Copies of this chain bind each other. A is one copy, B any other.
Amino acid sequence: MPSFHSTFTKSSSLSHIFTKTRLRHLTTTTTATMSTESSLRESLAAKLTTINHHGDVIRSLKSSKAPKSEIEEAVKALNALKLEKTEIENELKAAISGGSDGSNSFNGMSRDTFRQAVVNTLERRLFYVPSFKIYRGVAGLYDYGPPGCAIKSNVLSFWRQHFVLEENMLEVDCPCVTPEVVLKASGHVDKFTDLMVKDEKTGTCYRADHLLKDHCKDKLEKDLAISSEMAAELKHVLAVLDDLSAEQLGAKIKEYGIVAPDTKNPLSDPYPFNLMFATSIGPSGMSPGYMRPETAQGIFVNFKDLYYYNGNKLPFAAAQIGQAFRNEISPRQGLLRVREFTLAEIEHFVDPDDKSHPKYSEVSNLEFLMFPRDEQMSGEAAKRLCLGDAVSEGTVNNQTLAYFIGRVYLFLTHLGIDEKRLRFRQHLPNEMAHYAADCWDAEIESSYGWIECVGIADRSAYDLRAHTEKSGVALVAQEKFSEPKEVEKLVITPNKKELGLAFKGDQKLVIESLEAMNEKEAMEMKATLESKGEIEFEVCKLQKMVTIKKNMLSISKETKREHQRTFTPSVIEPSFGIGRIIYCLYEHSFYMRPDKSGDEQLNVFRFPPLVAPIKCTVFPLVQNEEYEEVANRISRSLTAAGISNKKDITGTSIGKRYARTDELGVPFAITVDSKTSVTIRERDSKDQIRVNVDEVATVVKDVSEGRTTWADILQIYPAHTSASADE
């Protein structure tokens, strides 16, 4: 997942998933709201003018000693105007916050309240905690505690089953420590940066774009008195934030008078900070290295061996799961922006001339929320599309890209992501690298907004070419023809003598550029040379135009018999931010419901069994040796079957024990209340059934592993009707 900062490359899926939250589409999609907001700001400004004017009137009445009744009348009118102003302010506030708060997605709470409830539960139950807490922690580093760790392991197992096994991918496992040359070739050493400013007195560092963004948002949300022109400008800044150069960012920071948030000291000009953790390999200090910022490069550099392993056949996909590192300037947003994270990446290598996919028909009928480029540009909303139509209408570039979009959709919804809060957003032209054919992000809505969790990019031949060039090892594929083909080939023959006379020391670079022309360019040049005798020609590496004359080269087409063609494969890259997916899953799974008495709200995670950190609890109803022996037997057979389970033999009430494990998202609870049969209770419905002791482990295993469903089980086993004392 090559992941440059967009400021520098306007590139690739990668840049954005783990660097910035895009705002552009947020603004485009809220055009309707914007116009309301804009007219409200205008009304507010008008009302303020009226109020000021009215104040003047009252003051002049007073100074001219007007009759008391007249003054009182005027004050009454002023108060009425002030009330109207307050009303407009409230409407404006509501328009700004967008109105999506308080929707059902957040359990009827505001985004912030909902997030706080989720995060409190997650931290209290050790789903995750800030790392090195006893040493006051390090920003952007988190530990997964037991339930979080189990969920991560379940998500990764399912990823392996869904992608690696089902698609016969070649999985590899490469080191995190990476020598500089590799990341020089990929571009990370030069371009993987964020713009930073420093507090000029204390040296504290900030991300320049974050400060500007905070300033703009703050102004927009809290300063109701700004003009609608100013509001429009601030919104524009937010929309183009990722595209601003260091100079432009610096100018805006100066213009708005932004200072260091903690000290109010002045700030330095913005300058680039490389986001890789640097280190040194070996004891000499002569071999610089970095902790990899993505896992993809490990696959690219192994292309030759993997192609051979695959019997020298295309297409094939390689995959890697592993840690990646980004030395963020000032991490925020909890689990969404961290300095170390788990990526799962796929590089699917394919013939650029044939991007069809053999299993395309398995996904082409899927329908889900898509947000194509055109809809974003015209301010429309994301819409449900049939994937097959999106391909046939040319919205999605090719079958293979679409196949992975479909598979990602299935993967995420299977994990428990709410499909109504999942959309596939296409990159806008200025978000993509020049070489990319098409990019789509799987975005999941959370309390932080729409979060890019998976990037799916057709990166064409860029990565393999970069490593071919740097290493001198050709990372290419061959297609053997079943019978030799007559191929028309472009032949460009430079006349070195003439070129040498004309360009002297620049001759080599001019020849390189001439030879690199594609067929279209060459044939155009040929035509111009024949008609006009000379042509202006740009030599990129010299950064200038030169004049090419007719006698300097010959351009022709020749027919050759060829037995194979050699080409650089295209790469289609789905790249998964596992921690982000898991965090969004937490939010989508969390809900609260009243306890039996109705006095207290209880937390529940509705994880599907596939994801749940513990599949089943085993509770002896009362503390009693016989029941405990049965509980032990059930627990042992669950364990032997590989089903994670937890006994709770405390004497606490069954209701409290359920509440404790609902909060961990345990889907099934077995209560041992006899020696022969037991109760199984399902977490969300609270349905209970009776099952024989000898059968119970198999039943729980089958429903946990998806071989059957709770609905099926309800049909087979008798319901447990006697109301439990505790539920």
Contact = CB atoms under 8 A, between A and B. Distances in A.
Contact of A175 (B131, B304, B330): B131
A323 B646 CA distance: 28
Given A170-B146, A284-B204, A126 B339 contact: no
Contacts of A301: 132-135
Contact of A283 (B131, B145, B327): B327
Interface string A169-208: 0111111111101100000000000001000000111000
A666 interface: no
A567 interface: no
A325 interface: yes
Contacts of A493: none
Interface stretch (A100-108, A147-155, A215-223): A147-155
B171 A126 contact: no
A143 B340 contact: no
Interface stretch (A274-282, A407-415, A718-726): A274-282
A8 interface: no
| Interface residue SS majority, chain A | mixed
Contacts of A298: 131, 143
Contacts of A325: 176-177
B277 A135 contact: no
A491 interface: no
Given A153-B160, A172-B145, A179 B138 contact: yes
A301 B133 CA distance: 8
Which among A143, A178, A473 has the greatest number of chain B C-beta atoms within 10 A? A143
A273 interface: yes
B471 A135 contact: yes
Given A205-B284, A281-B339, A301-B133, A146 B175 contact: no
A343 B126 CA distance: 22
Nearest to A196: B283
A702 B352 CA distance: 42
A645 to B, nearest CB: 9
B173 A143 contact: yes
A594 interface: no
Given A165-B642, A283-B205, A639-B166, A175 B134 contact: no
B171 A146 contact: yes
A176 B279 CA distance: 13
Nearest to A273: B283
Nearest to A180: B135
Nearest to A322: B323
A228 B138 CA distance: 59
A278 to B, nearest CB: 6
Contact of A279 (B133, B134, B291): B291
A677 to B, nearest CB: 26
A175 B279 contact: no
Nearest to A642: B161
A411 to B, nearest CB: 16
A301 to B, nearest CB: 5
B280 A143 contact: no
Nearest 7 pairs of A and B residues by beta carbon: A144-B173, A134-B471, A134-B473, A205-B283, A175-B340, A146-B170, A149-B171
A129 B282 contact: no
Contacts of A304: 134
Contact of A205 (B135, B166, B181, B282): B282
